[in-house]
Structure formats: C-alpha cells, structure tokens
Amino acid sequence: MKHTHLLASALTLATLSAQLWAHSANEAAPKTDSGWKQRQELLNQRAAEAGSKAQVLFIGDSITQGWEGAGKTAWAKYYAHRNAVNLGIGGDRTQHVLWRLENGNLKGLKPKAAVVMIGTNNSNAEDNTVDQIAAGVGAIVQKLRTALPETTVLLIPIFPRGENPNPQRGKIQQVNQILQKWVDGQKVQWVDFGHKFITAEGVIPGSLMPDFLHLSEAGYQVWAESLEPQLSAVLGDTAIRADSAGAPTSAASLSGEWTLTMPGPNSDPVDLALTLKQDGNRLMGSVPRVGGGGVLELVDGKVEGTKFSWVIHRTREGGGKMSYRMSGEVKDGQLKGKTETEMDGNPISNEWTAKRK
C-alpha cells in the first residue's frame, strides 16, 4: 500500500504538469542580469563544497535568501550544525528555480530534506494564473523527486502577503489549496504555518513582515520553530527547542564573554577573559596576553555544529613567533578544548575550559 501511495503521488505531480499547456511558470528559464548570474554561480559553488555533508536544502526566492540576512541568527541555531545549504535567489519565480535545479544547484548533493517555498513572485498581477503557479511548484517538486529520490521534500505553502486581506492573498491561498492535494505524507510532506503571520483581524504585523512580504528576525524564528518538529523527524536527530534547553549548541551560542581557564607558565591555572563573536560559521574574538601587555586576536575561527577551532599568533619575548591551534567542543554549556603548539621544535598540548561570565 505504501509504495502504491507514493507512486500515485508521483504520478499526480507528473500528470499535473503534463495536463497543462507549457507556460512561463513551468518552463525552466534563467535570468540574464549579472547579479542573478553571480548568485547562481555562488549557489553552485556552495553545492559543490557541501556535497554529501549537506543534510538540508532550502530552495526558494528572496524570502529563502533572507536566511542570510534577517534570518541568520535562527539559521546559525537551527541549521548550521546540519550543514544546511541556502539555495534562495531574490526575485526568482518557479521557472527560474527549475532552471537552477537543472544547472548545478543540486550537483553532488544527497540531503535528507529539501525545504521548498516558492511562487509568490509568480502571483503578481496577471503574470500567472492559479493553476499555472501550482503547476510550476509541482514541476519543482517533481524535479527534486527525480534528481534526489532519497530526499524528503518539505513543501511549505506560499506565505500570505499584504498588510490587510487582499485579492493577491486569495490567489495565493487557492494555489496552496492545490499544492496540499499533492503531498503523500512520506517523501512529500506539507508544513503549513502561514496562519502564524496573520492576526485574528487578518492583519500581517510589521514585527513579523516589515514590508508585509519579507520576514523579520522574529519572522524567521517563527519559520524555524514551526518547521523543526517535521525536519528533525526526517533527519532523525534531536529537535531543537525554542528556548535552547537540552538542544545541541549551535554557532550562535558562542558569541559573548567567557572566562577561559588554562595552564599558565608554571602550570598553575590562569583565568583569562575570552571574547567571542560569531557570524554564520565564522568565529572571531580576542584574549589578553598571559602576564598582560595587550590582547591576542583569534584568526581562522570556525564553527561546525558544537565543534569549533581558531588560531592565535604570538610574538615571543626576545624574538620569534608562536602559533597556538585551539579547538574543542561545547559540552553542557561550557567550552572544552585543547591547545597545540611547538616550542623549540617540541610539540606541546594543553587542555582548557571556558565558562560564560
């Protein structure tokens, strides 16, 4: 029965595109402006770098691309440690996403989940009809099911737009009603939380959508929290709770002031003020020199889930330089790491810990 149900769903998607005549929403087409081309090349590069490590893809337009802007804090908390890949380009319509999926965005990727939210730009004025937009989204889902048969598609209905109820919202809702009929609950799942962006009076608050289309930081938090139960189930990992209690520590949680405890010159414990600042997977910061005399900057700082690393360069008294490679993992809200260096050709390794101030 299960295989029959999945086959029927796949046939429904294929039939939907075939039954409707070819039109702008379901015919793959690129954009021609240089900015779009550069972004497309960047996404292809991301896909190549992530390869089989990527567990999650986010596919869409400017609202998806916005995970790199207003949504970066939520992204760092929920998706960085899952090696998620953002495949969003501002202004894209279904046909542009189709072209990208056929021209490098999926190369080398084998994710467990693909989060799809696309179609709002097709809904402007008379650009496309309801059934055309639905067919365009259906073509994207079909493309993903064909190219990535082991990937579960988490289909998100097009978000509502416009401060107050309006005809475009109605058009979008009709598209979503069609889209919901295609899910099979297995390899194509429905994740509907658009109602959370609308008040009981039918108004979209500016705190969630400042321009009543694109999300604020709070809006991306709504997205992340709403998606998490189904996403974590598909990935088979621990669901991240909104308050972070009991959740894996992500890159975002490393920012702040820490007390670093490490062996001093005489092997006695020394406490130092460690400052960390996280930006995506990049980690920056500084620590005072042991014995005073300024601060030492962290370079090449990186965060991958709960693991981190950086390098500190120090000029020795009397000349010469030393490099300290520090790496470790977040455990129980603390940093536990190891410092490796060389002195006069001899390797030295010390363990250290850090607690939040």
| Average pLDDT for runs of 10 along the chain of length 357 | 41 48 89 97 96 97 97 95 97 98 97 98 95 97 97 98 97 97 93 94 91 95 95 93 48 72 80 83 83 81 85 76 87 84 80 86
DSSP class of 208: T
As given in the structure block, the two tokens for residue 150 are 């082991």
- Identify whether 62 is a catalytic site residue: yes
How far is the C-alpha of 19 from the C-alpha of 250, rounded, in Å?
46
How far is the C-alpha of 210 from the C-alpha of 203, rounded, in Å?
12
CA dihedral 223, 64, 236, 191 (to 10 degrees): 50
- Identify whether 131 is a catalytic site residue: no
Predicted pLDDT at 248? 38
How far is the C-alpha of 93 from the C-alpha of 202, rounded, in Å?
26
Predicted pLDDT at 324? 86
DSSP class of 79: T
Answer whether 356's CB lies under 8 Å from 258's CB: yes
Predicted pLDDT at 255? 78
Answer whether 44's CB lies under 8 Å from 105's CB: yes
Catalytic residue, chosen from 23, 24, 62, 309, is: 62
As given in the structure block, the two tokens for residue 169 are 């919202």
Catalytic residue, chosen from 211, 271, 300, 313, is: 211
Predicted pLDDT at 4? 36
Predicted pLDDT at 112? 98
Phi-psi group of 45: left, alpha or beta (phi > 0 → left; psi -120 to 50 → alpha; rest → beta): alpha
Catalytic residue, chosen from 92, 214, 216, 250, is: 214
Secondary structure (3-state) at 40 = helix
Cα atoms in the 13 Å half-sphere on the side-chain side of 163: 5
Scanning the structure block, which residue is given the tokens 């890949």? 85
How far is the C-alpha of 220 from the C-alpha of 60, rounded, in Å?
14
Secondary structure (3-state) at 325 = strand
Residue 28: which residues within 8 A CB-CB, separation 6 or more?
95, 98, 99, 102
Name all domains of the chain by residue range, CATH numbers in brackets: 2-235 (3.40.50.1110), 251-356 (2.40.128.120)
Type of residue numbered 59: I
Phi-psi group of 160: left, alpha or beta (phi > 0 → left; psi -120 to 50 → alpha; rest → beta): beta
Residue 166: which residues within 8 A CB-CB, separation 6 or more?
none
- Identify whether 17 is a catalytic site residue: no
